[in-house]
Structure 1
Amino acid sequence: MDRAELVGMLGDQTAACEPARTALLDGGGFVVWDGSVPSHELAGIYAARLRRARKRGAETLALPSAVGILARLEAAQVRIGCVFSPDRTWAFMLFLADDASAVLACTGVRQAER
């Protein structure tokens, strides 16, 4: 998958799509991993991450929306990708259709300073 393809797939699925698109257009790095995971497993994982983020006060974008979308997909297989802002202050997790033809959801999390 190339950058332009991914930019074109980031619509208004969640509020994190626009900042992820901007990060790509500004030269941020990205990866889409091979393989897929059942959406219900991802929904559980990201629901737990949402609880931890709230507990820690971590800044996120559209994490509740992404969890909801993943939960509603039921047994669908989902591919995972990630976009990084050019300054690496944000990471945007992408949840794509199994054939990587569409972005289903996107969430962002501000990265801790190192």
Structure 2
Amino acid sequence: MGVTGVERERLERLLVGGDEASVAALAALRCGGPYMVWDGATSAQSLALVYGRRLRLTRRRGAQTTNLERTVQLLSLHQQPVRLGQIRAADGSCTFMLFLTEDGSRLIACTSVRRTHV
């Protein structure tokens, strides 16, 4: 799975007007945070299982997440393959995971995990 040449401006358009995690991801992107969108797609159902486990783990550890529960719900409902993307805050304090339609034209969900040690 390689990294695609998705433009920063295109990601900005996908993140505008979204939930709390999307708004924060957009701010991180606009502040120069590094980003990537991987080539290829993955089953939304398998991602729902993986991120469901992450949700339980982050709750046990007390990690600060945004929109992770909703992301798991949205992935569970999505019937098509999903492309993954990632944005990191420029200071490394937070990582945002983006879940896009297979063609990259629409944002399905966005979640973030705040790092406790930067």
Q: TM-score over 0.5 for the alignment? A: yes
* Partners of 1:67 and 1:13 in 2: CA distance: 16
Code of the residue aligned with 1:41 in structure 2: it is S
Number of the residue aligned with 1:102: 106
Structure 2: runs of 5 or more not aligned: 1-5
Kept in 2, the 8 Å contact 1:93–1:106? The answer is yes
Structure 1: runs of 5 or more not aligned: none
Number of the residue aligned with 1:88: 92
Give the CA deviation at 1:15: 2.2
- Bigger relative CO (Cα 8 Å, ≥ 6 apart): 1
Does residue 70 (structure 1) correspond to residue 78 (structure 2)? The answer is: no
Matches within 5 A, 1:1-114: 1-74=6-79, 76-113=80-117
Q: 1:12 to 1:48 in 2, by over 3 A?
A: farther
* Partners of 1:23 and 1:73 in 2: CA distance: 26
Q: 1:81 to 1:71 in 2, by over 3 A?
A: same
**Percent of pairs with identical residues:** 38
Q: 1:13 to 1:69 in 2, by over 3 A?
A: farther
- The root-mean-square deviation of aligned C-alpha atoms, in Å, is 1.1
Total equivalences in the alignment: 113
**Normalised TM-score (structure 2):** 0.91
Give the CA deviation at 1:6: 0.3
**Normalised TM-score (structure 1):** 0.95
Structure 2 residue matching 1:16: 3-state secondary structure = helix
Structure 2 residue matching 1:9: 3-state secondary structure = helix
Structure 2 residue matching 1:96: 3-state secondary structure = strand
Code of the residue aligned with 2:23 in structure 1: it is E
